[in-house]
Structure 1
Amino acid sequence: MRFLSLSLLSLLSPAVRASRGPFLQETGDGSWVMGNDLWNVTQGSVYAKNLYWKGVPGADLVGSASGHYLGYDGENNFRFTNATISAKGTHFIDVSFQSTAGDFHWVIFDDLSGAYQYFVNRALPNISILRTLWRLAPEYFTHGRTHVKDEPLPAFDLYSTGTNVQDETWQLADGSYITKYDWSNAVRDRDFYGVYGSKVGSWWIHPSTEYYNSDHLSQTLTVHRENWARRHLSQPERSEALGYGICWFDNKAYNSRGGLQGTLRLSDGRPASNAAVYLGDSDTNVRPSIQGSNYYYTTYTNDKGRFSFKHVRTGSYGLYASSNGGKLADVYTNYTKSDVNITKDRTLNLGQLAWKVSGRTKRIWQIGAFDKTARGFKNGGLPYQHGVTEESPANLTFEVGKSKDSDWYYASSAIGTWTVEFNLAENDFAANKTALLSVSFAGYSQSAALNIHVNGNVIDSLSKNTLASDPGEWRFFQPRRCLPNANLSGVSSNKDQSYSSAGHQDVPSRPPSHPTSHVSTQPPNYAPQQGPGYPSPEVAHSTGSSSQPGSDRQRDFDEEQSGIEISCAARGQSTTDHDVPFYTGEQPGVTAVVDLYSGAQRSAPRHLLLRPSPPTSMLQCEKDYLRSKGVFNLPRESSRKELLIAYFHNMHPILPVLNAGVLKNMQEPLNMSLPDLLLFWSMASVAINFVPSSLWQLEGFASRKDMKDTMYGYAKCLYDVGGTMSKEHQLQCALLLCFWHSDRDSHSQPWYWSGVAVSLCQIIGLHRNPDSVTVNPHVSPQSRRMWRRLWGACLFRDRWLSLTLGRPMRIRLEDCDMPFPTLEDVLFDVEELGPLLKETYIPEDLDRLAQYWISLLQLSRLLGNILILCYQQNGSAPSLQQCESLEAELLQYRIPETGRSGSRLEDFFYYHAQLHHQAAMITFYRPLVTITPAGLELDAGALWRSKIRSRMEAAAASTNAALDSIAREDLVGFAGPMTPPLLVPAMHAHLLNCKSPDSLVQRLGFNKLDLCMAVMRELQRTYTSASIFCGIFGEAIRLLQKSPMNQVGVSGSQLPAVGPDQLQSSDGRGSADPVNTDMPFIDDSFLNFLLDEESGYNLWESMNMMEPPFDVSQA
């Protein structure tokens, strides 16, 4: 069970009493109505809407808002498939809504304007937050209230006149800000919260905090802009929040409780006074901030280090402790203890617990406390408000002995230098030689970067590549080295929060290139500070030949440490929370060695998280090169917005390779890092296919293809020169760049980029299920969902490009066990965007559009089976049983029946799915027209081939029917780069009929081919591949007709010829783009191959063999 809360509607006058009682009623359309005589609401598969209450007769209190939903990590992930009354009493019913992750309950009493809610967990992963909330009609709910804030919500007209500066944050004309994040608060300090107006309101009351995820530091948003009458809550209602027990909730497991107590003492003898103590997951390798499958308890020790917990649910827990400042201000280690077992009606006394801390060496100086917060610094701890960091200066000097902690600002947002000046006695320096610098971060923004200097020498650098996990977490960092030098001073950064330093190490004097302290670029893991297999720096540096140069010895050491890190991570003994994915591979190989340590009963996990490589700075010449290439010349703001809308409406539903959260970084060019810029140009090179012609004209380009080529050039330049980026980032860009065609490189780019994507996919290990051996606690639910999407995208492109380009498939499903993505995987990242971004960029029917991609992945699997069975160069002839089995699967394939709502984009997606299906069918039937499968009697061969040919031609005719619908409904403008190749199988089938001895069949073949060529000509204006296909089939028609060909490709037509500059667009994109005649070099031998009954679809490979040699002098 994950939470228990009371959701109340309230009013200013006394509540009306019920007379009939609570109810649940199924509507028959996949939704249910529940409530009592006071209120009722309609629950759909995701959202509960149509909320009515007697206090405001006839008013829908949800209105145009989203309504009520349950989700985790910010997404509306839960989809309910059934509803039942699981229990009932004299005055209540318990309504259970079932989903794959668990059961969500509403306990409805006959006289209560509200309901109790609780969740029974069945399959929740590790999560950051599980929440249930209302988004209600803003006209009724005008005020918000938390335990720290109670005031009117901003008027809606302020949003329309303000400037959106970041997610859900607007700057007003007077320079002030409004943001929903002002309503955030610490989860364990809350009493009740909600929204209200003059007539009605909505309150959440929580009987305890034990079902809140994470530890003392967890903060979340409680008041949402569309949300929730204020009245003073009665004493019985408020008392609900004082204990764990609810009189009606008689679940035995929930009420099975015990206690825990103990005393914490530091290894240096001090009591752990006022330490933060957290009772969480037994697996201490999972950091508290993402724990979410258990119940969680927090407290603080007294001045003697004693702590206790009461009313703890029975089970196994982990005990965690960390400094909360005060007398422990210098303590940066954490205490952990696993397997703390709580039993019913007993209090477990752990006795005195030893908390290991660093040796109490002489402290040179320290600013602030190691308490994982920014308290004590200037502006630290102010009420929630936007823009506080802007008050921090760009440059700051802190003089040890004179300055106070409150002189050091809690955050920095301007580029500059923050300096700590101090003196070090010469005898201290002579005695110790080196010092250990320790830095504590309360948080950092995505674009942060920091260099640490000692007397002008850079000793380390931090950036989002170094601190690459959740930016909202606390960080602890110790630089790789401190240079021995008197009068140490100097810290420069352009982003810093809670900087502090303490202690030194007695390390023998070494050459300056050697590290003198332990390296930690991530927050300390709540695991032992040292694990087996990690030699100390002293031991590591003592190995090797004494004559070996220092730099070589250091490199050997670093490389060996990489191997040790992999081995320890595979055995669950890593010492820090790393977040760079690493795939060990399968046996045979080094994985076999790692498995030896895991024992005979289990194998080591294959997906690990390692520390990131140190950040590298881009050389000035590289920056100058990128600038000279124009990669920083972004389109106008209106053009950028239109490109992003085009991408997320037309491409994202059918190939969701990007997390929708990238939109947050692309609203303002200053927020875009080089990896973000690469993503933008990659997206734009595809999105340009769907924007009006006025856009490329406004940007000063001669044609759509001209602008597309330019944006592709920017993306490729950044890909090659843009510095260090994650492999997942590279994979996403490669999948987008594989839509680019050009005759200048033999049209090889799609296959090249597809190969890059598949290689990166297999390097990261996305073809393997990270939980295939055991549930991998280091892979977040968000990563799992994104990995499945990327894996599905690679498979999808591999199969269809293999068909289109006549190349061997790169992915063997026999080597893969990654599950196919689900609809929930596609939708998980959208809700976090906030209403404005979501409304602006995401199609309203994304949940329906994405179903077509989910379905096409299954068709892609079948296409792979077709290519293996019928098109392998060294494959054996298929058997009759194999053919019939595969044909049965193809015939059973169904395009989703989504109940099309009138969206033109959804209509196109439906027809586009038909084109995919018929292309796969023709590809299957095509080689069987001329062969007799093994197992078929010889005298039945002719009849078999005749039936197969009829089925192939029926599939080709169905392709024409879909094209006719697309043309008549004016949907050609929605065609994407994957559309032209889907016409080729049907066109090939029609072309074979064009040389039939039967004149009627021949004329029908030309007519059907004429329709395909007409659509292909429309697509030619946008897609180079369509130009190639027009050239290939146009020449074939000319060869058959033996006469000049007109623009529609059928020489017998009496229509006058039309020049390329006279063509008019019918796709709703404005004026036509100039036609790009990307015609290939074609000779008669290729046309003979195309018209051969026994030829396959290896059109591109054969065409490329006939191209003239590449002239290096023209390059």
Structure 2
Amino acid sequence: MSESSGSPEPSITIQTQAAKRTADAAGLKPGMRPAKSVKRRALPLYIKRLPARFGPDDVLYLEKKGALTIPAAPLRDELLRCYAEFVHPYMPLLNMHELVRTIDRSDGTDPISLLLFQAIMFAGIATVDMRYLKAAGYNSRRDARREYFQKTRLLYDFDIEVDRISLIQSLLLMTYWYETPDDQKDSHHWMGIAVSLSHTIGLHRNPAKSQSMDLAKQRLWKRMWWSTYMRDRLVALGMRRPTRIKDADFDVPMLSLEDFEEDVLSDEPSCMPADCTYLRDAEKQRKLAVMCIAKVKLCMCISNVLSVQYSVLHNNHGIAGEEGITRTTMMLVKKLDPELTEVQACDKQLQEWKEALEDEAKYVEPTWQDVDSGNEDVVLNRSLLHMIYYAALSALHRPQVLPSTAMPPRETQAPQLEASRKAVRLAASGITSIASALYNLDLVRYLPTTGITTLLPAIIIHLLDIKAPEEATRKASLQGFCQCMQIMARLRDIYAAADYSTAFLEAAIRKAEITLPQRSPELKEPRSVITSAQALMEAGRRLTSGRQSSSNALTPPPETRVKPSGETGNNGTENPSQLTDDDLARQLSSYLASTPPDSDHQPTTNHESGPQFFESGGISVPVADFEPDFDSMINLDEAGETWLLEDGAYAAMQGGESSGYLMDTDWMMKGIKEGGLEMSAV
């Protein structure tokens, strides 16, 4: 085992079963070491010892799998910093100052659960500088995240931890993992276990009513409960799955600033790097606490949105698919005819939430000065808060704009329909603008998986608006699509869920056979069908004034680049403005066969102010044999019922935190084919 503490640590002796039998047979006295014993290194003193019930074989197996390996001090400390700055503020599960003090003391006092420690390391990897992972021997961020999640999951499966507080904290962090569509233990699964354990220990009850709980513990329990609540709502929003927590089943009071830690880390040497300003700045902690409370209140609005617009009822319950496997996953599907008064009430609640925000939580476009002053965590959390708000607004109004064919809109709904169109466009524009600002400041790499959840509804609306008759709307939607896809490409360096989201967007575009409208009735232009995201991004580039080459654009592998013919660019490829549809199709084939770069984007030093236009970037799908079949996947029957999914296609997006937006694909393609957002509900 590797350890990170600089102080000498006692060694432990783990006997194999054969060595134990030899010792018994030889009659060795206690304390005498047989010749076949295996000498190992102990866990650091700040880590809780393994349970006594663990036998030698268990310990050796866990060690072989790396579950007992603690990162070396440089990586450990940086992962702690990333967790403190980019995970803890929006999910304050822990007493961070106590955690840091325990590691700094390293004297065995109040040791940390090994399961929880590995879960913290896993959560921090998503945002740590790639240089630390390279130094530790990892080729990519995904490899590191996968290894640390496997460590955490193995420890959980071995029941290494019996303390339910530590279990709940670990499980909530495990909900941030998603890799393959066929993994049945997805975010919703881990969320369910966390909620179940929370109810078991009474985390859902008002801790102030406890006679034996001190004030510090009451505050921790409140933060843990509301962290569980927020995660439950965001998983339900993204996956379109039923919430695990019912609003009537708890009585925990709303969070207040007093429930957050009031402590400042000293300037003495610590496991927390000196550049971690969050734990050393009381004012920053207060600002982020204000944003966290605002997020809790927003998630309560999201709960109402889900109950008004979506139902767990569906028409394929218990249908057997391939090899006789029965699909039993419950999904939230759009209600056929939600009450307009309920929709309006939810909309009012969202607007009141935004108007009631304290100054610290109100959105302000960030600048390089914010980044250079070490306020990335404040910028990120404020931006994410408002991206979630716009995603909730879109979730509320999108079903109004994209109704099922079974329930055509009534004439009395016309004003609400127009209001919903404006709302979804506002939401798409807001998400794109905020995410673009993060991209220009190189902060997209700090977004959690919730960032994907917020991007997808914006992309859906942008795709619908590409059929708009007005050139200004068409330009804005195409540029917005380009921006969102560029941001999604960055998230693919970190999260597998972004791969599958991109794959389905590609498949949807191919299926929809988009044809852009003429710029004007007098101007007759060739009207070729657009069948890829890359081609759509090229079309967006042509319709905008920006034609400069972008340094951020992704390129296909050298051996698959289009050969020059006529005018060429600097890289030997044809001028993008002169690429034919066949050229774009060939490029797309190379993109679909390639993978994202292993190394992360390096922080840019170009501190240009203002929004930047995104050139089209290559959209690559790393799963070569992944070919969603939308004909078998979507059933646009006349009854307007929920579409049916074949097992393979259904599984391709099932499990990821943003998989629920697949439910909108049929509406999106129907809207595109029938004339875009303006005609989709007519």
TM-score calculated relative to the size of structure 2 = 0.64
**Cα distance between partner residues in 2 of 1:995 and 1:1091:** 24
Would you say 1:864 and 2:303 are equivalent positions?
yes
Please say if residues 468 and 474 of structure 2, whose CA atoms lie closer than 8 Å, have aligned partners that are also in contact.
yes
Alignment of 1:388-403 (within 5 A): none
Alignment of 1:501-650 (within 5 A): 616-650=52-86
Residue deviations 1:470-500 (CA, integer Å, cap 9, x gap): xxxxxxxxxxxxxxxxxxxxxxxxxxxxxxx
Q: What corresponds to 1:705 in structure 2?
A: 142
Would you say 1:969 and 2:450 are equivalent positions?
no
Would you say 1:820 and 2:254 are equivalent positions?
yes
Residue deviations 1:848-870 (CA, integer Å, cap 9, x gap): 12221210110100101110011
Pair 1:747–1:721, CA change in 2 (3 A): closer
Pair 1:1033–1:757, CA change in 2 (3 A): same
Pair 1:839–1:1021, CA change in 2 (3 A): closer
Please say if residues 682 and 715 of structure 1, whose CA atoms lie closer than 8 Å, have aligned partners that are also in contact.
yes
Q: What corresponds to 2:427 in structure 1?
A: 955
Q: What corresponds to 1:656 in structure 2?
A: 92
What amino acid maps onto 1:1068 in structure 2?
A: P
Pair 1:1098–1:985, CA change in 2 (3 A): farther
Would you say 1:760 and 2:222 are equivalent positions?
no
Question: Displacement of 1:941 after TM fit?
Answer: 1.9
Alignment of 1:786-805 (within 5 A): 786-805=220-239
Candidates 159, 176, 179, aligned match of 1:739: 176
Pair 1:906–1:760, CA change in 2 (3 A): same
Question: Displacement of 1:1088 after TM fit?
Answer: 5.5
Question: Displacement of 1:993 after TM fit?
Answer: 2.3
Residue deviations 1:288-316 (CA, integer Å, cap 9, x gap): xxxxxxxxxxxxxxxxxxxxxxxxxxxxx
Would you say 1:890 and 2:350 are equivalent positions?
yes
**Cα distance between partner residues in 1 of 2:58 and 2:285:** 40
What amino acid maps onto 2:180 in structure 1?
A: D
Please say if residues 973 and 1069 of structure 1, whose CA atoms lie closer than 8 Å, have aligned partners that are also in contact.
no
What amino acid maps onto 1:847 in structure 2?
A: R
Unaligned runs of 5+ in 1: 1-163, 176-389, 391-412, 417-455, 458-614, 1109-1115
What amino acid maps onto 1:725 in structure 2?
A: V
Question: Displacement of 1:1085 after TM fit?
Answer: 3.1
Question: Displacement of 1:1043 after TM fit?
Answer: 4.7
Q: What corresponds to 1:940 in structure 2?
A: 412
Q: Which has the higher strand share?
A: 1
Question: Displacement of 1:635 after TM fit?
Answer: 2.1
Residue deviations 1:682-717 (CA, integer Å, cap 9, x gap): 111111111111111111112110011001111111
Alignment of 1:104-115 (within 5 A): none
Pair 1:926–1:1096, CA change in 2 (3 A): farther
Residue deviations 1:765-793 (CA, integer Å, cap 9, x gap): 1111134xxx4220111221111111111
Q: What corresponds to 1:1058 in structure 2?
A: 556
> Secondary structure of 2:90's match?
coil
Please say if residues 973 and 1068 of structure 1, whose CA atoms lie closer than 8 Å, have aligned partners that are also in contact.
no
Pair 1:1107–1:631, CA change in 2 (3 A): closer
Q: Which has the higher helix share?
A: 2
Decide which structure has the larger Cα Rg and report it: 1
What amino acid maps onto 1:732 in structure 2?
A: Q
TM-score calculated relative to the size of structure 1 = 0.41
Residue deviations 1:183-216 (CA, integer Å, cap 9, x gap): xxxxxxxxxxxxxxxxxxxxxxxxxxxxxxxxxx
What amino acid maps onto 2:494 in structure 1?
A: T
Residue deviations 1:321-370 (CA, integer Å, cap 9, x gap): xxxxxxxxxxxxxxxxxxxxxxxxxxxxxxxxxxxxxxxxxxxxxxxxxx
Q: What corresponds to 1:810 in structure 2?
A: 244
Candidates 990, 999, 1005, aligned match of 2:477: 1005
Pair 1:761–1:908, CA change in 2 (3 A): same
Matched residue count: 497
Q: What's the % identity of the aligned pairs?
A: 22
Q: What corresponds to 2:592 in structure 1?
A: none
Alignment of 1:288-367 (within 5 A): none
**Cα distance between partner residues in 1 of 2:400 and 2:56:** 60
Pair 1:910–1:1100, CA change in 2 (3 A): farther
Question: Displacement of 1:724 after TM fit?
Answer: 4.1
Question: Displacement of 1:883 after TM fit?
Answer: 2.2
Would you say 1:665 and 2:210 are equivalent positions?
no
Question: Displacement of 1:723 after TM fit?
Answer: 2.8
Residue deviations 1:434-476 (CA, integer Å, cap 9, x gap): xxxxxxxxxxxxxxxxxxxxxx99xxxxxxxxxxxxxxxxxxx
Residue deviations 1:815-851 (CA, integer Å, cap 9, x gap): 11111222222224x4488865577456131221222
Alignment of 1:837-848 (within 5 A): 837=270, 840=274, 841=276, 843=278, 844=281, 845-848=284-287
Pair 1:1029–1:415, CA change in 2 (3 A): closer
**Cα distance between partner residues in 2 of 1:792 and 1:694:** 35
Q: What corresponds to 1:424 in structure 2?
A: none
Please say if residues 629 and 649 of structure 2, whose CA atoms lie closer than 8 Å, have aligned partners that are also in contact.
no
Question: Displacement of 1:1091 after TM fit?
Answer: 14
Pair 1:1069–1:813, CA change in 2 (3 A): farther
Pair 1:766–1:849, CA change in 2 (3 A): same
**Cα distance between partner residues in 1 of 2:234 and 2:265:** 32
Pair 1:804–1:744, CA change in 2 (3 A): closer
What amino acid maps onto 1:818 in structure 2?
A: V
Pair 1:1097–1:792, CA change in 2 (3 A): farther
**Cα distance between partner residues in 1 of 2:639 and 2:351:** 24
Q: What corresponds to 2:547 in structure 1?
A: none
Candidates 462, 474, 488, aligned match of 1:990: 462
**Cα distance between partner residues in 1 of 2:636 and 2:505:** 9
Q: What corresponds to 1:259 in structure 2?
A: none
Candidates 139, 159, 162, aligned match of 1:725: 162
Q: What corresponds to 1:1068 in structure 2?
A: 603
Please say if residues 234 and 299 of structure 2, whose CA atoms lie closer than 8 Å, have aligned partners that are also in contact.
yes
Q: What corresponds to 1:911 in structure 2?
A: 383
What amino acid maps onto 1:769 in structure 2?
A: N
Q: What corresponds to 1:1033 in structure 2?
A: 505
Q: What corresponds to 1:1077 in structure 2?
A: 622
Pair 1:1035–1:941, CA change in 2 (3 A): same
> Secondary structure of 2:449's match?
coil
> Secondary structure of 1:850's match?
helix
Question: Displacement of 1:754 after TM fit?
Answer: 1.0
Question: Displacement of 1:802 after TM fit?
Answer: 0.7
What amino acid maps onto 1:761 in structure 2?
A: S
Please say if residues 1021 and 1075 of structure 1, whose CA atoms lie closer than 8 Å, have aligned partners that are also in contact.
no
Pair 1:859–1:640, CA change in 2 (3 A): same
Higher relative contact order (CA 8 A, sep 6+): 2
**Cα distance between partner residues in 2 of 1:1064 and 1:414:** 38
Candidates 206, 214, 217, aligned match of 1:769: 206
**Cα distance between partner residues in 2 of 1:876 and 1:1104:** 22
Alignment of 1:155-170 (within 5 A): none
Please say if residues 380 and 446 of structure 2, whose CA atoms lie closer than 8 Å, have aligned partners that are also in contact.
yes
Please say if residues 205 and 251 of structure 2, whose CA atoms lie closer than 8 Å, have aligned partners that are also in contact.
yes
Pair 1:897–1:962, CA change in 2 (3 A): same
What amino acid maps onto 2:210 in structure 1?
A: N
Q: What corresponds to 1:217 in structure 2?
A: none
